[in-house]
Every structure is written in structure tokens, then in C-alpha cells.
Structure 1
Amino acid sequence: MIEFLALAACTAIQVEAGAHGPSSVFQVQYPAGSATPLGTLDRRLNAIGYSHAQNLVYGVDDDGRLVALDRSGRLVGTPSPPVHLLRHAVAGAVVGERLVVRVGPWLYSVGIDPGSADYGRISHEASLWPPAEGLAVDDFDLNAADGLLYGVTTHGQGATVVTVDPTTGRVNRVPGTGRLPGGSGYGAVTLSGDGSLYVTNNRHDGRSVLYRVALDGSGAVTEISVRPGLNTTDSSGCLAAPPVVEPPQPTPTPTPPQPTPPQPTPPQPTTTTPPPGAQPVVPPRVPPPAPPPNQPNEPVPPTPEPPPGSEPAPPQQQTPPPPPGDFNLPERKNASQAAEVRHNVRDQRRWSMAAILLILGAGALARQSARRR
């Protein structure tokens, strides 16, 4: 159901004019048929059709110039140079890059590509046949499904739905469609997506009437709306649906940055810079404790007496210990000197005792020799 309603909805541009004066532009909504005025042009316009590729409505003015409108009904660009054969164009529909219009018993195809050399010029023509049917077609619209133009031809007291081949000009009646009332002509024809043909009778009994004609073979014809009578009308056909504009997404509110607590600064060691020329202060070094000196009452071991007649043995030389690797340091040198002094004193004591013993021994020997004599 929703898809059907979407296809049935149709918006078309329609131009209308009285017997004299410029054309007024309306926006017509189908299937309701409501018309909204968009403005009045500075010229009389007819034979309009909608280009889906360009999203523009093209038509021909009374001077035979090609004119473009946007979907709001305003003139776009510069009209083409006038072409005399197009001055009385009525029915119109866009087929590809051409606006196909009817002028008398002829179909003319006018180029609408602004970049082509045939823009505003007739690039193809075909005669309508049979002429009796073709001469009374006031408007038509393109059916993209079969490539044919669908319109209404008026004859006598009634009107019927016909198709027109845009290439050959062949006109054929559509079977299964109901009979429409006659009048001055059906100037606005729109083929809607719901499979119906919406046609406007310009003037019938002083009124302009919009009908919906079913194309499903049922022959149903329904009156939709009534407006004051008009001299000329023409419809562009359904415009492309405007693009759906998504509402802008709200911009997320940025989270304010959390303040970072200050980090404590570690205390920096205070460095005192000596004045220029000052000698650096070297902290005093504490010498290691000296070994305790020998006790004065320490007993001296007795020296053995040498045998009679032998020379006394020279005293043993004490080999001082090797100096340490850092003997050049003052504190280490002082300790070594103190130890050497202590060794010398002890050696002197020993030598003194040995001398006394030698003297006493020599005296005893002398007394013994005197006795023997």
C-alpha cells in the first residue's frame, strides 16, 4: 500500500494562459489535482516537457525559441534563437535529449542538450498519420515503459485516448479507455505512476475540468477538480522526486579535558659555584687506625749463645712488607714510616743485648786464660 501511494504521488509544472498575455506557472499535485501558483512569466509558453537528466522543464514560446524553467517555475539560462516552424507548437514531451512538439500535422524534435550543435534546432520531423486523429492532439506525455506518447484527441462531441509514435508519427487509439466529454481541447496531459492518465479539458461549458482516466482497460473516467475556463494549458509530466534531505545530526558536545594534578618537583641539590680563582676545597681524609705499638714490658726472647770459637751470627734482616698500591697517599706513607721506626728500635735493642752478651763472654774467656797461666 505504501509503495502504491509513493508511485501515485506526482508533482508537475503546468503553464496556463488566457486569450492574451503571458503564461502563469503552477505546481500541480496528483492525484488530488491541487494547483499552487508559482508566478507569471514574461512570455507566452506552450508545448512543455520535463527532462529527468537535466531536472529542467523545456518549452517553446510564441517566437519559436526554446526556453528552460527550473522546478520552481523560474526561467533558466538564455533562450535559443527563434525558429519560425516552432512558433505555433502545442503538445510537448521530452524524449531523451529532444523535446518532441506538435505543429499542425507534424512532429518536430528539438535538441535540448546545451552542449550540442542542434540545441534549439529541429533535428527530426515526422508527419502525423492519420491526420484526422493527429491534428486534434493538444498534449501528450511519454510512457517510458513502451516509448510511446499518450495523449487525448478531440473530435466532435467527445474525446478519446491515443498513442503517438515519436519517431514515425503513427497515431492509434487506446482500447478499453472511457469516453471523455468534448470541448476546446485537452491541453494538459500527465501520465502518473499509479497507471492513470490525468487530463485537463481547457474549457467545457465555461469550466476547466481535470479528469483521471484509467489505463487498465476498465474504462473508468473520474472527475477530480474544476477551475475557471482557460484558453491554453500544458503540463510537463511528473517531476523527479526531490532528494530526501536527512536532518543534520546533532554535534556531540565535547567532553571538557580533566585538569591534570601538578606533579611534585623533586628537590634539586644545591650546588655552590666557587668564585673564580678559588681553590677547590677537598674534604679531609681520616687515616685508618694505626696498629697498636709493642708493649714496653713485652719479654724479649733470649738469643741463643754461639758455640765457643765461632763468629757471632749477623743479625737477621727484617724484610719490610711490600708497600701497598696506594703508598703515595700521605696517610699510608706515615703509617709505613711509623712501623719502620718501631722495627729499628726493636732491632737496636736486640743488638745491644747481643753486644753485652759478647762482652760478658769475652771477659769470662779472659779470666779462664789468666787462671791457666
Structure 2
Amino acid sequence: MDGVTRAAATAAVAGLVGASALLAPMTARAAESCLVVQAETGSYGKSKLRWLDVGSGTTSRVTEPGYRLNALGYSATRDLVFGVAEGLSRGAHAVTIDRDGRTQDLGPITRAGNRLPVWSPVAGVTAGAIGGNSWYLLRNGTLYTVDLTPGERYLRVIKTVFLRPITLAHDVNDFAYHNGLLYGVSTTWRGKGAVITIDPASGKVREAEDARFPPADIYGSVVLARDGALYAMANRIGGRSVLYRLDRGGQVTQVLSGPPLAGSDAAGCLTAPPEPPKPEPPKPTPIPTPTPTPTSSPSPTPTPTPTPTQTPTLSPSSTPSPKPSPTPTSSPSPTSTPPSPTPSPSPKVVPPPAPIPAKPSRGAAPKERKASAQSDPHARTKEKRRWGLTALVLILGGGAAAGAVRRAR
């Protein structure tokens, strides 16, 4: 590799992991959480999927997808992991894996313009990563670009690039995408665990001088975390599989180890799942302002409607007849009887309306008669007059009789 190429690769990786004099030495910081989906394959059979937080080394889920998977890539816009399933009809099929571990077979990956059925040109790929709508797949130094844009070219190979130098690109078994470049680990006799960058547009491969993992046969899984750390899984080193972390200071630390693997591949970091919308706090029930109980004014006792006292119609006072002057005693005329004075007509008395009679009582009858006599003063006047006239007739008659007796003698 010439000096210019090596310097360019070093600058690219320095920007990624901070391998520069300004950043080193620096105190190792606590790793940030980074959830990845890792396919792990034994010597034979199908793969297992492990949901692994590479920052802490903890596993949250293990599933069996039913495929032998490789070349995983994560599409953040779709929140899906794409992988290549081997051993199916017409070669490699595209398979999606969702956050819950459900898989879906999308059919064979073919070249754009070909009609089905066609054998997939990407069978046997060993590395995969997604950038935007491009899925980059690598096999034996040849880089394929698969279109993920919905439409006629969906899951079709739209570009093929041969990587150079092949001495660095031949044994790259996984990479991660960042800012237009692919970051991987070369395990060739020349690479020996060196971090390399691949330009997918030109196929140019560059090696970084100060970013290197321990030598191993195969680094099957490579993931770039958000904090700039690069994680790589050695499938077999010292009889075990080991996950390493290369931090921004260029320091390599072991995260975890396990049984040796025949194959591995990983994709991530998965974006944090959207938080469910927080339920709106219940609106406080407005406390009703207590309406002051109106002080009930005592209902005015209804004034009893007075029964109208029927004012008795006053009868005009009758003019009393003048009392007759006493007649002087004289020799009575033998024959003439003075005419009875004609009583003056009594004015018509309008009696007041009779009150509603109460139930008569036997004991009340005399009082009623007495009351009726007292209530008619004119009747008494008439009676007195009659008695006065009677007395006058008797006196005159007696005098006449006495005179007749004297004459008879």
C-alpha cells in the first residue's frame, strides 16, 4: 500500500475511533448501550438469532429463525434487519427480521433486468450492511449493491464493484456502514486484524495504522456503536469465540466470550423503540363552587282574605208620627166619632242580605225571635200606635156612655 492510501485510511478510521495523538491516551469510558441482532451458526444446521447489547454483553432474547443466515444489515428507516438465507430454492433469499424476532422470506435476490426463476448471484456472501436504500453484500472481494427502494428494482442487484487491493479485501467477513464508507476487519496475511475502510463507489480498500484487533482467523460480526466504538466478534480465537471492543482511544477490550462458532454476523445498533405516548393526565374534575343555599325567608303568612262584612244598608229613619195632643174634656158630641188618624206610610225598609244561616239549634230559636223583634223598630212603633188608638176609642166611648146615662135620668 502506498503512503497516500495508508494515510487516507488512517485519517478515516481516526475520525471514527479517535486514533490520533490528540485523543490518545485517554481514560476508557463506560460503553454505551448498543442493541444488535447477531446470527450465530454452529458447524452445521441453521442459525440462532441473539439480541445482544454489546455495550454490556447481556443477551435479552434468543430465537431460531429456521434459516442459515449471514450478511445482516439494519435499516433504521424501516426498523428491520435484512439477512441472506442460504440453502433455499434459486440460491440466496432475502429475509427480514423484526424487533420481536418474526422473520419473513422475501424471495431470491437476483440481478436487475433478469426474470425469475434465476439463480441468485449473491449466494455465499459473507458480509452485509445497509446505508440508506442500499444493501451492500460482499463475496470473495466482489461488492454487490442491492436496491431496497420499493419498485421494480426492489431486491435487485444494481451494481457490482471489485475491491482492491484484494490482499486486504479477500478475507473481510463483515462490515458496518458510516458516512458513505464501510468499516471492517481484514484477517488476511497482510491485514492480521487491521481495521479497513471500503469505498462502495470505487471499491478502494484502505488500512488504518493504529486501529487493530487481535489476530484471528475470522471476524464474522462487526458493528459500529453510536459512541464511535467498533465491536468485532472473532469466531474462533484460542478455542473460543470472543467479542472485542475498540474504543475511540484505540484501546481494545474483551466484552464476552463463548463457544467457537462456524459463522456469525451482526447488525445494529437498533434504534430505541419509540416510547408509547404518555397518557394524558386526567383533567382535574373542577370542584363545583358550592352555591350558597339561599336563606329561605319565611314565607309570609298569607293574610286571610277577610270575609267582606256586609255593611247593612241603613234604612232611612222613619219620621215618627206626632203624638196626638190630648183632647180637652168637653161635652161630647153625642153622635160624632172622630175619624181615626191615618198613619203615615212607613218607608220601605231594605233588609241587609241574610247571612248564611248556621245549622239551627233548638235552644237558639227564642233568641232568634227576640233578635228579629229588636231588629225591626218600625213594627214596635206600629204596635204602640194601635194601642194608643184603642185607648182613645175606649175613653171616647166611655164618655159618651156616661153622658147618655145622665140624660136618661
Report the TM-score when normalising by structure 2: 0.59
Structure 2 CA distance for aligned equivalents of residues 178 and 241 of structure 1: 29
Q: Using a 3 Å threshold, how does the CA distance of structure 1 residues 361 and 112 change in structure 2: closer, same or farther? A: farther
Letter in 2 for 1:196: A
Structure 1 CA distance for aligned equivalents of residues 376 and 43 of structure 2: 151
Structure 1 CA distance for aligned equivalents of residues 164 and 369 of structure 2: 146
* 8 Å Cα contact 2:321-2:343 kept in structure 1: no
Structure 2 CA distance for aligned equivalents of residues 81 and 155 of structure 1: 31
Highest RCO, 1 vs 2 (Cα 8 Å, sep ≥ 6): 2
Matches within 5 A, 1:333-372: 339=372, 346-356=380-390, 358-359=392-393
Q: Using a 3 Å threshold, how does the CA distance of structure 1 residues 209 and 352 change in structure 2: closer, same or farther? A: closer
Structure 1 residue 66, shift from structure 2 partner:
0.3
Structure 2 CA distance for aligned equivalents of residues 344 and 46 of structure 1: 144
1:127 is aligned to 2:161: yes
| Corresponding residue number in structure 2 for 1:304 | 323
Structure 1 residue 13, shift from structure 2 partner:
1.7
Counterpart selection for 2:92 from 54, 64, 72 = 64
**CA deviations over 1:75-130 (Å, ceiling 9, x no partner):** 523332353112122211222344322234443333457x64444333x3252553
| Corresponding residue number in structure 2 for 1:235 | 266
SS of structure 2 residue aligned to 1:178? strand
**CA deviations over 1:272-324 (Å, ceiling 9, x no partner):** xxxxxxxxxxxxxxxxxxxxxxxxxxxxx996215989983624515424331
Structure 2 CA distance for aligned equivalents of residues 179 and 66 of structure 1: 32
Counterpart selection for 2:221 from 183, 188, 200 = 188
**CA deviations over 1:116-162 (Å, ceiling 9, x no partner):** 4444333x32525534344443211233xx35332222331523222
Counterpart selection for 2:55 from 11, 20, 31 = 31
Letter in 2 for 1:137: V
Letter in 2 for 1:130: R
Structure 2 CA distance for aligned equivalents of residues 135 and 336 of structure 1: 151
| Corresponding residue number in structure 2 for 1:273 | none
Structure 2 CA distance for aligned equivalents of residues 346 and 233 of structure 1: 148
* 8 Å Cα contact 1:106-1:125 kept in structure 2: no
Structure 2 CA distance for aligned equivalents of residues 31 and 332 of structure 1: 114
Range moving further from structure 2, 333-342 or 87-96: 333-342
* 8 Å Cα contact 2:54-2:255 kept in structure 1: no
**CA deviations over 1:202-249 (Å, ceiling 9, x no partner):** 3345443322112x3x33223344444333211112223456789x9x
Please list every run of 5 or more consecutive structure 1 residues that lacks an aligned counterpart in the other structure.
249-300
Structure 1 residue 71, shift from structure 2 partner:
4.0
SS of structure 1 residue aligned to 2:106? coil
* 8 Å Cα contact 1:104-1:135 kept in structure 2: yes
Structure 1 residue 342, shift from structure 2 partner:
5.6
Report the TM-score when normalising by structure 1: 0.64
* 8 Å Cα contact 1:156-1:182 kept in structure 2: no
Matches within 5 A, 1:1-373: 8-33=32-57, 38-62=62-86, 63-71=91-99, 74-83=101-110, 84-112=120-148, 116-122=151-157, 124-132=158-166, 133-143=168-178, 146-156=179-189, 158-167=192-201, 169-174=203-208, 177-204=210-237, 206-214=239-247, 216=248, 218-242=249-273, 304-306=323-325, 312=341, 314-315=343-344, 317=346, 319-324=348-353, 327=354, 329=356, 339=372, 346-356=380-390, 358-359=392-393
Among all aligned residue pairs of Structure 1 and Structure 2, give the percentage whose two residues are the same amino acid. Answer: 32
Structure 1 residue 356, shift from structure 2 partner:
3.0
Structure 2 CA distance for aligned equivalents of residues 26 and 323 of structure 1: 120
Q: Using a 3 Å threshold, how does the CA distance of structure 1 residues 109 and 178 change in structure 2: closer, same or farther? A: closer
RMSD of equivalent CA atoms: 4.3
Letter in 2 for 1:234: D
Q: Using a 3 Å threshold, how does the CA distance of structure 1 residues 337 and 93 change in structure 2: closer, same or farther? A: farther
Equivalent pairs, count: 304
Structure 1 CA distance for aligned equivalents of residues 380 and 347 of structure 2: 11
SS of structure 2 residue aligned to 1:229? coil
* 8 Å Cα contact 1:88-1:103 kept in structure 2: yes
Range moving further from structure 2, 26-35 or 181-190: 26-35
Structure 2 CA distance for aligned equivalents of residues 16 and 54 of structure 1: 23
* 8 Å Cα contact 2:40-2:261 kept in structure 1: yes
